[in-house]
Amino acid sequence: MKNNKRNPGSLVALTGAALALPAIAQMAQAAEMPTKTELGYRYSGYQEEDLDKGVVLTGSNERYDIKTHQFRLVAPVGEQTALSMDAMFETMTGASAMSVVAFPGGDSMLVMTGASIQEERTDISAELRRQGDQGSKAVALGYSIEDDYEAVNGGLDVERNSADRLTTWSSGIGFSYDQLNPIQQANINRIKSEDRWYYNGYVARAKVHSPVWQSQVGLYLGLYDGYLDDPYRSRDFRPNKRQQFALVTRSRYYFSKLKAAIHCDYRFYNDDWGIDAHTMEVAWHQSLSEFFRVTPILRYYSQSQADFYVDNDSGLREGEQSSDYRLSSYGAFAYGLGVSYSDANYSFTFYAEHYDSSADYALTSVSKANPFLVDYTSFTTGIDYRF
Amino acid sequence: MNARNLKLLITIFCIVLLSGCETATVQAWQRGKLSRTDMAWQADPMTSAYRDHVYTSKEGASGGIGTGGGGCGCY
């Protein structure tokens, strides 16, 4: 951990401490026994657009700049067992919001932290999967650490194929135990240490419909229990439980004449904080030759606001409340383009994406738009080696 | 989740579940295209994991599509 200037607006509150937590129960990814050992590396850059200086009351208008290194090893261990290991190292700089201040007339301004933060995070996980005649079963463990945050997680999942191997049922359960130890600052009364548990599970069915079409549908449940406030915001009081529900459908169709595959994903999300969200993504994987492929991606996201979302922070208000933009009502479009080369031993990949969010994109009506939504540009490049 | 939403979700789920019952037989030798990497649920698992991580950190919803959610301060 390196802190050029330790700042109360820790990045943990916005960037999260785990890289999609492979150990937590996930929708099945059609696990197959690897025949070769594969090593993968990805480098990603993430840059949020700076805030307009006119909306920042104090602090920096520079938002996050994040560099990420990912490593992956997938290898057969014996004839029926596969091991996969993931590691991720992340370096973050930038400022985060501490408070939203409302002025007479309705305008709001942000109290931001300073910008000179540098923080690092490490995340590791491993999965052992046993393949059988009728399916597979796997166990996974993960660990994540940064200066003010530590988490362990684990999961189990089972897959079963039908006799004709056209249908695969899968289910999984997972947990995470997270401990927060916020950085203290003079004259600010902040919690010393808190923790929370997260439990989740899913059941999914994948179906082969034809030689060129397969789909998957799944139900996903999650439950948070414990401290769920953002300790770095001035007035952030959230319920200490959160129940999540998601319905996910995915479809893959191959156009033989075009040498292209279309991916269509949809997720409906609902939680007992009052947020409903719709996520739709379409990706077109166009093969240009035996080795080269180009993939444009369009993603749309919309959510309603949480029951306790407030558009400004006030010391006069009692009860549950948060001005976090992620609890407001808004929508977002993400536009991405990927290019890849892949032969028997090597793959090279590059992907770039721009994310544009706005209250105008929301499916639900927005009584007052949050002016501090995030727009960002990211890219990922990497290599895979199989031997 | 209120009762209306729950009923709607269960109905959608059942419809989708039953929608594949008419599937024709697909023999092993006909599955070459299904096993292509561009037909996988995640064509590039590492890049997908990174993207899901970013979305989970920046949006109110999480879980379901290739992500576990949780284990972080991203609410």
**Chain A hits for B34, Cβ within 8 Å:** 208, 211-212, 214, 252, 254
**Quick one: pLDDT at residue B5?**
65
Rounded to the nearest angstrom, the minimum Cα separation between A246 and chain B is: 6
pLDDT single digits (tens) A180-238: 998 887 777 888 999 999 999 999 999 999 999 999 999 999 999 999 999 888 899 99
Q: Which of A283, A295, A303 is closest, CB to CB, to B59?
A: A303
Q: Among candidates A275, A296, A169, which has minimal Cα distance to A222?
A: A275
Phi, psi of A35, rounded to the nearest 5 degrees: -95, -15
**Chain B hits for A293, Cβ within 8 Å:** 38
**Chain A hits for B56, Cβ within 8 Å:** 16, 20
Which of A10, A27, A275, A343 should one mutate to test binding to chain B, selecting the residue with the greatest count of B CBs within 10 A? A27
8 Å CB contact of B69 and A222: yes
pLDDT single digits (tens) A151-176: 999 999 999 998 888 899 999 999 99
**Quick one: pLDDT at residue A290?**
92
**Chain A hits for B39, Cβ within 8 Å:** 214, 252, 254, 261
Size of interface A-B (CB pairs under 8 A): 259
pLDDT single digits (tens) B34-72: 989 999 998 999 999 999 989 988 999 887 654 333 333
B72 touches chain A (CB under 8 A): yes
pLDDT single digits (tens) A311-339: 989 888 899 999 999 999 999 999 999 99
A155 touches chain B (CB under 8 A): yes
pLDDT single digits (tens) B3-39: 566 566 666 666 665 555 555 688 888 888 998 999 9
How many other CB atoms sit within 10 Å of the CB of residue A161? 17
**Chain B hits for A366, Cβ within 8 Å:** none
Rounded to the nearest angstrom, the minimum Cα separation between B41 and chain A is: 6
What tens-digit pLDDT sequence spans chain A (387 residues)? 344 444 433 333 333 333 334 445 555 554 578 889 999 999 999 999 988 888 888 888 888 899 999 999 999 998 899 999 999 999 988 888 888 988 887 788 888 877 666 788 999 999 999 999 889 999 999 999 988 889 999 999 999 998 888 899 999 999 999 999 988 877 778 889 999 999 999 999 999 999 999 999 999 999 999 999 998 888 999 999 999 999 999 999 999 999 999 999 999 999 999 999 999 999 999 999 999 999 999 999 999 999 999 998 988 889 999 999 999 999 999 999 999 999 999 999 999 999 999 999 999 888 778 888 999 999 999 999 999
**Quick one: pLDDT at residue B66?**
43
A12 touches chain B (CB under 8 A): yes
**Chain A hits for B5, Cβ within 8 Å:** 270, 276
Phi, psi of B57, rounded to the nearest 5 degrees: -75, -30
Tell which B residues from 29 to 58 touch A, by Cβ distance under 8 Å. 30-34, 36-47, 49-58
Q: Among candidates A100, A172, A188, which has minimal Cα distance to A129?
A: A172
**Quick one: pLDDT at residue A18?**
34
Can you read off the two tokens belonging to residue B27? Answer: 């023999």
- CA atoms of A386 and A345, how far apart (whole Å): 5
The pTM of the full predicted model, rounded to 2 decimals, is 0.88
**Quick one: pLDDT at residue A21?**
42
Q: Which of B12, B24, B57 is closest, CB to CB, to A210?
A: B24
